[in-house]
Structure 1
Amino acid sequence: MQSNHHDITIIGAGVSSIFLAYTLMNHNEHVSIHMIDLGKELSERTCGLDEGGICTCEGVCSKYIGFAGLGKSEGKFNYTNDFGGELGRKIGQQNTLDLMREVDNILCEFGGDTIHSYSTKNEKLSSRGNEAGLKVLSTEVRHLGTRLASEIFQNMYEVLKARVTFSFETRVEAISKKGNAFQLKSTSGQFTTEKLVIGTGMSGSNWLKEQAASLGLFPGKTRLDMGIRVEMKGDQLQSILQDTFETKLKIERDSFSATTYCMNPQGRIIHKHEHGLVMPDGQNAREEFTPSANLNFSLFVPRYFQSHDEAMKYSGDIIGGINQGGERIVVQRLQDFKFHINTESLEGNLIDPSLKAECGNVREEVPELYGMALIEFFGSLETLIGEPIHPDTLLYGLDAKFHEPKLPTDENFETDISNLFLIGDCSGETHSLSQAASSGIYVGNYLGGTFFQ
């Protein structure tokens, strides 16, 4: 193993890092770029979870770790400031929208234009939503799907590898700064770099916390979204979905706000594995399976914790308690939920469950906040659609979306340590593929424009 020096080193090979590297190489043909990732290159990322089985990986799971990161999963790019992160607040709303347009142009360069984009914007629905006490969040969407997303990122990899030095299956064990350069000790040898960018996403949260502490950087509050996943009649929301593939609704009260997430008309519910927890996740009807007669989504309520450890303990206690050491997920009929009684069986239920879950009492196993938010939301939703939510609607406990603790960075994503940058979800500013990619382009433009001045 040999020591290598580069102008810019990027730790993590997820979406934000890919768009950063692509932007850098287009800015300057002489800058040397090194990308390090704990996982494998895209063509080698296979896991039993991809086929609906169990994880077959040794060490880190290739479903979540490796080139393209979570961009390989569903490839859903939402171009909006309404949700998906706070990038617009950091660098400006219009600037963010312009960067998202650039993200989409790049995706289309590599084959994304074979799938048409669509818009969820609906002025009439927004007005009706306001009257019902709901905010209708809108977005432009390019939903690539797993297969096309993988093809696009493989195409990008073929271009990048001509200019970028990759170190896959490599763990960075220590980072130190000596003079104006960073020294990286890794399982593939020693590296030095003038500028260091970290884009390790959610999967690298524990690693980043350790490395940041060793450098004297300490995060602030951590956001955690949790909520009940709902499976309802496929036509229950037809009156608000007739002009769009999906919509995103938000309810705000003094004690909470809640937003629908991952709405899947004709979709199924599958197991999601993250941080050692098992949760109900939505699978889009565009994936390779027979469409269901149902619609599913999660209603997420964000909460902020003083530390990442506190957030992870909270989610682990609740969801881990539901899992009971295995893959258990609890399901309850809406009617039973309302009347505080156990669901004993789903035999004869109008909504046929797409996920095999254990009948029980979601209300007893999930903190009151999430059940209260759901009931309040359903009340407003019934006003919006003009009919009651069917009592056989199914409620699954409990889904979650994890966020990175936010380390302080300036307007260029530079930390308090000179020439150390954070991009994508690990910056705490982005929570979506589109905003993560945009942050990569943004920092790429900054570094590309300043590196040789």
Structure 2
Amino acid sequence: MSKKDYDVIVIGAGPTGIFTALELIKQKSGLDILILEKGTDLKRRVCPMKENPGTNCVNCPSCAIVSGWGGAGAYSDGKLSLSPDIGGNLENYIGRQALIENISYADEIYLEFGAPDRIFGVTDDKKNEFRKKAVKAELKFIPASLRHLGTGYSQVVLQNMQDYLVENGVEIRFGVNVKKLLIESDQIKAVETAAGEKITADYVMAAAGRENAEWLTKEAQNLTIETAINPVDIGVRVECPAAVTEYMTDNLYESKLIYHTPTFDDKVRTFCMSPYGEVVSENNQGLVTVNGHSHSDFKTHNTNFALLVSKTFTEPFHEPITYGKDIAKLANLLAGGVLVQRLGDLLAGRRTTKARLERSVTEPTLKGATPGDLSLVLPHRHLTGIIEMLKALDKITPGIYGRDTLLYGVEVKFYSSRLAVKDNLETKIENLFMGGDGAGITRGLMQASVSGLVIARSIMEKIN
């Protein structure tokens, strides 16, 4: 029979939840810790579309790509940004120097659990050379170094972490969906699952991830925890022959490029560069969106990356997640999943057909994508920004604005509303902590991991 009472409950087994538990153990706390995860463990995180290429999404109760041990990052290509300028807003809570120190500390933990000792970055010579090219193209260049795990190594590291936690007495329950946070006298007392089970704890940490950001925001509103609207990022996954982007990927790998478009002055940015990788689909609670991976064990002939248009809404609108979901729904309605279009067809005002796609120099790596017309899905403002960004990129990577460049839609980053927390990431509800991407505080693996460290130390300070 399952226990009903713990010292600490961790909601979500993504990097924030994992690093909270790891740090609590490292502090030799002796605490009784329970991790609740709606998905499955790594061995059971198998996507039917990956097992049977060319098939459509079957709407699993919990998407294996974005839910389960390791969170959405388990099947990403494992880029750990070592720069405090990339991956979230933690600097606003703990300060820049503390963030730099904690990134280094978290990086050592990844190494301890099997991360490969390889760092990609930009040399000073290449940094200056590329900055000059970027400036001439009116692009803002943010250089960064990163540790690249690759999808294969990501899963090895995450499995090692799970084994370590279990060996040290942490209980992990999979397939458990938390539905409610139970409060008494402005203090967290318990959580209630979808099955109606109530589990009590002295401390609760909620790191629901992007997929459950909407749930976490609603719970925060029920508890009268203030929220601030974060931008919503909507765009496409770009795919082209790796030879086209070699100058950029070989020298920069994952550094960011930001462009403010001439027509609408909107911010468009590159995201998640996947050299020699593949385009993949993800199921976000029934919505099929697109992403990209680079693997440690095999390479394709293509490179893919996201182009995302950032929009911050103002009063009276409070539902950026709903806005992003509705655009994704339209793509799903027209394509039955992910839609793909050649850039040349988009510019010519015609849909891509199967025959036109087969003539493309770029062979699509996502075989289940449906040829179609992105102009029927994306708002004119977003589509204009993406086209203008591709023109600017073509000045530093000639060929990216070619007619056979493929655009997959849509890619949406469902950032939660930013929840009001103290500098130690505790909410106004005593002993209730929130962190990671789902709380709107971080936007990447490394800062999500660091937020777990911050929460664990905050809990220990309160106990001591």
TM-score by structure 1 length?
0.89
Write the mapping of 1:215-254 to structure 2, written as runs, cut at 5 A.
215-253=223-261
In the TM superposition, residue 388 of structure 1 has moved relative to its aligned partner by 7.5
Q: Equivalents in 1 of 2:110, 2:236: separation in Å?
A: 33
Q: Deviations over 1:92-113 (max 9, x none)?
A: 2232222111111001111113
Contact 2:144 2:254 in 1 (8 A): no
Q: 1:329 to 1:183 in 2, by over 3 A?
A: closer
Percent identity between the aligned chains?
Answer: 28
1:319 aligns with 2:328: yes
The SS at the match of 2:24 is: helix
The SS at the match of 2:326 is: helix
1:332 to 330, 341, 351: 341
**What amino acid sits opposite 1:195 in the alignment?**
Y
The SS at the match of 1:105 is: helix
Match of 1:182 in 2: 189
Match of 1:263 in 2: 273
Match of 2:139 in 1: 134
In the TM superposition, residue 418 of structure 1 has moved relative to its aligned partner by 1.8
Match of 1:103 in 2: 106
The SS at the match of 1:203 is: coil
Q: Equivalents in 2 of 1:181, 1:402: separation in Å?
A: 27
Contact 1:182 1:192 in 2 (8 A): yes
Write the mapping of 1:2-401 to structure 2, written as runs, cut at 5 A.
4-51=4-51, 52=53, 59-74=61-76, 75-113=78-116, 115-120=117-122, 122-161=127-166, 162-179=168-185, 182-186=189-193, 187=195, 189-253=197-261, 255-286=265-296, 288=298, 291-292=300-301, 294-305=302-313, 310-324=319-333, 327-344=336-353, 345-356=356-367, 357-385=369-397, 389-401=401-413
Contact 2:278 2:365 in 1 (8 A): yes
**What amino acid sits opposite 1:333 in the alignment?**
R
Q: Is 143-152 or 351-360 further displaced after alignment?
A: 351-360
Contact 2:4 2:198 in 1 (8 A): yes
Q: Is 92-101 or 417-426 further displaced after alignment?
A: 92-101
Q: 1:49 to 1:137 in 2, by over 3 A?
A: farther
In the TM superposition, residue 181 of structure 1 has moved relative to its aligned partner by 5.3
Q: Equivalents in 2 of 1:207, 1:132: separation in Å?
A: 41
In the TM superposition, residue 125 of structure 1 has moved relative to its aligned partner by 0.8
In the TM superposition, residue 120 of structure 1 has moved relative to its aligned partner by 4.0
Q: 1:353 to 1:178 in 2, by over 3 A?
A: closer
**What amino acid sits opposite 2:190 in the alignment?**
Q
Contact 1:224 1:403 in 2 (8 A): yes
In the TM superposition, residue 360 of structure 1 has moved relative to its aligned partner by 3.6
Gaps of 5+ in 2: none
Contact 1:7 1:195 in 2 (8 A): yes
The SS at the match of 2:118 is: coil
Q: Equivalents in 2 of 1:146, 1:386: separation in Å?
A: 29
Q: 1:194 to 1:410 in 2, by over 3 A?
A: same
**What amino acid sits opposite 1:406 in the alignment?**
R
Q: 1:21 to 1:355 in 2, by over 3 A?
A: closer
Q: Equivalents in 2 of 1:308, 1:14: separation in Å?
A: 30
1:407 aligns with 2:407: no
Q: 1:348 to 1:421 in 2, by over 3 A?
A: same
Q: Equivalents in 2 of 1:163, 1:409: separation in Å?
A: 29
Q: Equivalents in 2 of 1:87, 1:229: separation in Å?
A: 27
Q: Equivalents in 2 of 1:16, 1:7: separation in Å?
A: 18
Q: Is 11-20 or 82-91 further displaced after alignment?
A: 82-91
Q: Is 327-336 or 416-425 further displaced after alignment?
A: 327-336
Q: 1:91 to 1:131 in 2, by over 3 A?
A: farther
In the TM superposition, residue 257 of structure 1 has moved relative to its aligned partner by 0.7
Q: Equivalents in 2 of 1:397, 1:426: separation in Å?
A: 23
Q: Deviations over 1:205-259 (max 9, x none)?
A: 2432343333233533143211122222322233333434444311124631111
TM-score by structure 2 length?
0.87
In the TM superposition, residue 308 of structure 1 has moved relative to its aligned partner by 9.6
In the TM superposition, residue 154 of structure 1 has moved relative to its aligned partner by 1.7
Q: 1:189 to 1:395 in 2, by over 3 A?
A: closer
Q: Equivalents in 2 of 1:364, 1:325: separation in Å?
A: 9
Q: Equivalents in 2 of 1:384, 1:58: separation in Å?
A: 41
Q: How many residues align?
A: 449
Q: Equivalents in 1 of 2:58, 2:152: separation in Å?
A: 20
In the TM superposition, residue 23 of structure 1 has moved relative to its aligned partner by 0.7
**What amino acid sits opposite 1:185 in the alignment?**
E
Q: 1:381 to 1:219 in 2, by over 3 A?
A: same
In the TM superposition, residue 386 of structure 1 has moved relative to its aligned partner by 6.1
Contact 1:285 1:291 in 2 (8 A): no
**What amino acid sits opposite 1:434 in the alignment?**
M
**What amino acid sits opposite 1:171 in the alignment?**
N
**What amino acid sits opposite 2:249 in the alignment?**
L
1:432 aligns with 2:427: no
In the TM superposition, residue 395 of structure 1 has moved relative to its aligned partner by 2.4
Q: Is 432-441 or 416-425 further displaced after alignment?
A: 416-425
Q: Equivalents in 1 of 2:280, 2:399: separation in Å?
A: 28
Contact 1:50 1:63 in 2 (8 A): no
RMSD of Structure 2 on Structure 1 (CA):
2.8
Q: Equivalents in 2 of 1:346, 1:31: separation in Å?
A: 57
Contact 1:233 1:390 in 2 (8 A): no
Gaps of 5+ in 1: none
Q: Is 327-336 or 66-75 further displaced after alignment?
A: 327-336
